[in-house]
Amino acid sequence: MTSTCPDANTPQASDSNAVINISCYKFVPLDNLPALRDTIREEAVRLNLRGTVLLSNEGINLFVAAQRNELSQFVTFLRQDPRFSDLQPKESLNTYQPFNRMLVKIKKEIIAFGIESVDPVRETSPKLSAKELKQWLDDGRKVHLLDVRNDYEYDLGTFDSAIKMGLDHFREFPDAVARLPETMRHEPIVMFCTGGIRCEKAGPFMEQAGFEHIYQLDGGILKYFEEVGGDHYHGECFVFDQRVAVDPNLKETPTTQCYVCQAVVNSDDQKSPRYVPGVSCPACYLDESDRMALLLQHRSVQLHAAVQPLPGSQPYFNNRPLNIPERFDGMTLLDCLDHWHPQVGREEWEQRIRNSMIAPSQPHSRRIRRRKSPQVQLPLSPDRIVRSGERFDHLLPGTVEPDVRSDVQFLFEDEQLIVIQKPAPLPMHPCGRYSRNTLRHFLNQIYYPERPHMVHRLDANTSGVLLLCRRKAVARQVQPLFEHRQVEKLYVARVHGCPDSDEFICTAGIGRLPEEGGLRSVDDAEGDDACTEFRVLRRYDDGTSLIEAKPLTGRTNQIRAHLWHLGFPICGDPAWLRDGCLGENRTLSIDEPVMCLHAYRITLEIPERGRMTFEASMPDWAVAGTLSGIAGTGSSSNVAISESIS
């Protein structure tokens, strides 16, 4: 079964400089497809052709372009195979090469349909020539014109009164046929497509489905244009190359295609402000809020893939770098580690040193090899003197990290900024027992190869809004705003006790370095200057209060330390406890009650962008009358709290 199209040597295109486009297909049994593919590809490359040739056991389908001489040689080459001896390509002119490369591919079907009972090699529907169809339409003969192409092709142009099947893909055709009126089963139907190949399968399928009078337009719309022009047809015809569409004279039109959504964009649509080549067209344009919603939804999907399971939940060889700070210069290795990370314990550090778990840092390439196959290291002496800037590796084989909360919420993103709502407990950076189960690791996986820059911090046990920069240049603008106290940060905290005053302030100094238990000292006279303003939002019957905190300085643990100093420690804080007691500044387990401190709003003015405010939703403990049973940091829609904060 062949297409009835003019020979490739037809005088239609006499311009020797023109690029000729040819297309044709033939349903014929083929075997030994890999060898056939290689032979056709070799000849096509030799002749400098571009386009696509599809091969399958059911036949061949091709659309290629080149100068006339090369195309004639290619058609002659194909016809030397007895199976292709009667190929009759259709052709059209072009002023440039409409294909980027030459592909010869083996497919299951040369036109995807998926119905095994339909075999055009054995049987097709009766064909109606272009001239016959025109005569039928001129005479006003009663006939249904069925467009079997996809909807975007139909919308660009079709025959007058043609039926739109509602297809996004040809595989949907059987379902669309089932929706046709029952009366059409006994009435004449002429189906058509671009070049006729889809009708070779659509026609027999409809006959099998009980439609009695099926015809297919021989050669499709392109053959109709060639033989009779555009009578009874309105619009253009979509073609599958860089031309996008041709008119009834088979000449390329100004119509293009959106590279984002693949929608056809005609001349009128190209004048729309919603058409930005490579960005959007009227069909896929989204306003800023819709675009943002889709992007944030995509980030949530990426996050789920990155944290299910948590990356630190499987044993791995962990190599933690230790870069000796200047303040430890001249100390012994043991004293340095004990002062630096006292929460580990001096005896534990000494044991790790003697077990070669602390080793001189190796070049990066050697560290990578050691991760795969750790080598035995000669133990260092705990009394070894260390120097500022010296680097060691902390080797931790078989590391399994504690679970953390991973339900990061993405609030805002553009080409410069990322704003998220961090859950708790979740460390931001590798520290202590955490390396992979950290916000840094999660985001690096999601945004790879980018590494978002963290320009401010939240404690592992603190939830809330966090701003990151996507590029160093942006971070260099934004980070100084935090350092120079030009960012307004607001927190809410649930505290033990009920302050007498609705508003109060704390200016107690905060120690620069952590002391025993990883805590910083709090003293009215000593320590770095620190100032926090507080406002009572609610007083609860259980003896707790909801307080808004506005830090005017940015000292580490400032809000927690100030509230404890004033006698109102934060509920769930493992370090600054009730009754003036102290614990350890550790990351909570996900099974423990949460620490009730939440960063809910930041406001800053970014150069060339103006004033920007980002706000997180409120956690459950901020609205519950009692803390009993509160174990998570889920958001709340409590309006009263939001109004009192505003």
Residue 5 appears among annotated catalytic residues? no
8 Å CB contact between 154 and 145:
no
Cα–Cα distance for residue pair 535/568, rounded to 1 Å: 13
Residue 448 CA, distance from chain mean position: 11
Dihedral (Cα; 583, 585, 589, 594), 10-degree rounding = 80
Q: How many CB atoms lie within 10 A of CB 529?
A: 11
Relative to beta strand 597-606, strand 544-551 is unpaired
Specify which residues 477 forms β-bridges with: none
Amino acid identity of residue 573, one-letter, is: D
8 Å CB contact between 202 and 173:
yes
Burial class (CB in 10 A: 0-12, 13-18, 19+), 247: middle
Of 24, 193, 237, 596, catalytic: 193
Closest by Cα among 599, 283, 276, 625 to 461 = 599
SS3 call for 45: helix
SS3 call for 609: coil
User: What sign does the dihedral 48-54-60-62 (CA atoms) show?
Assistant: negative
**Element spanning 93, H or E:** strand 90-94
CA angle in degrees (0–180, nearest 5) for 121-126-127: 95
Cα–Cα distance for residue pair 367/375, rounded to 1 Å: 10
Cα–Cα distance for residue pair 380/370, rounded to 1 Å: 18
Phi, psi (degrees; rounded to nearest 5) at 342: -65, -20
The label of the residue with tokens 């919420």 reads 409
Cα–Cα distance for residue pair 411/419, rounded to 1 Å: 5
SS3 call for 292: helix
Q: Which residues participate in catalysis according to the annotation?
A: 193
